[in-house]
């Protein structure tokens, strides 16, 4: 239809690439939008803020004898060097931040071997013959056999220390060596985008794999009340499907490999330019402009497009119901009937062109 063509063109001029016409129809019905945090609500350029060397406990990996505490004097720079080496091949923003921090300290990285990547959790690798784990407590829970090493210490003090330090831990040769915290500034347009979505009666939710206190702080700064933290990729997918089962039309905004399943399952998948190939391939819409406010703008444009389509259908049916019987009965001269047909088509086109000013 003319309205869809005009709206798609208008979206493109605003830096919003729509995959196909059906996307606009779904965008116009969206009533829930879920955001990822890192790289979506935030700039996706985290900086290592602090390394907190932890009093460690032995870690025994499945199928291996329990390690002995043989790296008591492991220093902060050595922890960073090993963790950055293990993460050197990862594309996760936190991994890039570790590598950058190591380079800023002029630390020499070693290419890792036997790298095992756990999406949404972290990495296990061998660096210079040492087994290095960099990731969440959930990852340590999976690969470590002892309760102490897995971060399940019932001590409230230890629990608070982990959470306050951030969601990334580094374990080296049988020891939880350090907790790593990162700063990732909120996008300056995040709060405005959330506010505009709420003004459009859209429910906004944050779904993030991060467990840190910073996730809730970022949500609060953006004006988001509903927050789900510590989610794996499949758990983000479950959240989207749960919302859909309640008759919600769900939009998901993400940028990374971890967001691929949720982006594909959402009624409207939105990604930002410069994101991973997995996210871009799964998304229905790519925002080229570096501005989250394009998302509520897309919703408003799509809703207006649906209204214009309904108006155009009204004019088309009105002509067919009124003019055609008159022309068929000879009550209207053929020339006038043809003119009325042209006028009807012109009305539809001109009405659609109003979307250029949307």
Instruction: Write the pLDDT tens digit of every residue in 25-54.
Output: 999 999 999 999 988 999 888 899 888 887
User: What pLDDT, on the 0 to 100 scale, is given for residue 146?
Assistant: 45
Instruction: Point out the residues that are catalytic.
Output: 36
- Report the side by side order of strands in the sheet with 32-35: 16-18, 285-287, 268-272, 250-254, 32-35, 203-207, 226-228
Predicted confidence (pLDDT) at residue 17 exceeds the cutoff of 70: yes
Q: pTM, whole model, 2 decimals?
A: 0.74
pLDDT digits (tens, 9 = 90+) for 155-177: 333 444 454 445 688 988 767 88
pLDDT digits (tens, 9 = 90+) for 115-160: 999 888 899 999 999 999 999 888 887 887 543 444 444 333 344 4
pLDDT digits (tens, 9 = 90+) for 195-241: 999 999 999 999 998 876 778 888 999 999 999 988 988 999 999 99
Predicted confidence (pLDDT) at residue 337 exceeds the cutoff of 80: no
Q: Of 251 and 43, which is predicted with more confidence?
A: 251
The CA distance from 187 to 169, in Å, is 26
Q: What is the SS3 assignment for 322? A: helix
Q: Of 257 and 42, which is predicted with more confidence?
A: 42
The CA distance from 97 to 47, in Å, is 5
**Alpha-carbon Rg of the chain, whole angstroms?**
27
Q: What is the SS3 assignment for 290? A: coil
Contacts of 78 (CB under 8 A, 6+ apart): none
Query: How confident is the model over 288-316, as a mean pLDDT?
Result: 86
Looking at 196-345, which runs of residues are DSSP E strands?
203-207, 226-228, 250-254, 268-272, 285-287
Alpha-carbon torsion (270, 272, 275, 280), positive or negative:
positive
- Give yes or no for a contact between 140 and 176, defined as CB atoms under 8 angstroms apart: yes
């Amino acid at each position: 239809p003319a309205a869809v063509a005009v709206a798609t063109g208008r979206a493109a001029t605003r830096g919003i690439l729509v995959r196909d016409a059906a996307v606009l129809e779904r965008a116009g019905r969206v009533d829930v939008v879920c955001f990822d945090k890192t790289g979506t609500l935030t700039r996706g350029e985290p900086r290592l803020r602090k390394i907190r060397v932890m009093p460690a406990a032995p870690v025994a990996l499945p199928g291996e004898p329990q390690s002995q505490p043989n790296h008591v004097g492991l220093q902060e720079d050595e922890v960073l060097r090993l963790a950055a080496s293990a993460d050197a091949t990862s594309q996760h923003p936190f991994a890039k931040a570790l590598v950058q921090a190591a380079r800023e300290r002029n630390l020499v990285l070693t290419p890792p071997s036997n790298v095992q990547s756990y999406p949404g959790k972290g990495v296990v690798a061998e660096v210079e013959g040492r087994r290095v784990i960099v990731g969440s407590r959930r990852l340590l829970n999976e690969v470590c056999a002892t309760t102490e090493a897995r971060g399940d210490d019932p001590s409230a003090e230890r629990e608070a220390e982990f959470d306050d330090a951030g969601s990334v831990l580094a374990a080296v040769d049988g020891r939880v060596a350090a907790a790593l915290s990162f700063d990732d500034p909120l996008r300056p347009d995040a709060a405005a985008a959330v506010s505009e979505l709420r003004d459009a009666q859209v429910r906004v939710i944050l779904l993030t794999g991060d467990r840190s206190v910073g996730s809730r702080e970022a949500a609060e700064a953006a004006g988001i009340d509903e927050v789900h933290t510590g989610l794996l990729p499949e758990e983000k997918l479950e959240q989207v499907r749960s919302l859909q089962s309640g008759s919600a039309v769900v939009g998901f905004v993400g940028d990374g490999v971890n967001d691929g399943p949720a982006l594909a399952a959402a009624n409207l998948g939105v990604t930002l330019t410069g994101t991973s190939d997995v996210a871009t391939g799964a998304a229905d819409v790519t925002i080229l402009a570096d501005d989250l406010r394009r998302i509520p703008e897309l919703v408003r444009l799509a809703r207006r497009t649906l209204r214009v389509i309904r108006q155009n259908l009204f004019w088309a049916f009105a002509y067919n119901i009124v003019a055609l019987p008159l022309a068929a009965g000879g009550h209207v001269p053929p020339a006038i009937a043809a003119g009325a047909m042209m006028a009807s088509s012109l009305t539809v086109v001109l009405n659609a062109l109003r979307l250029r000013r949307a």
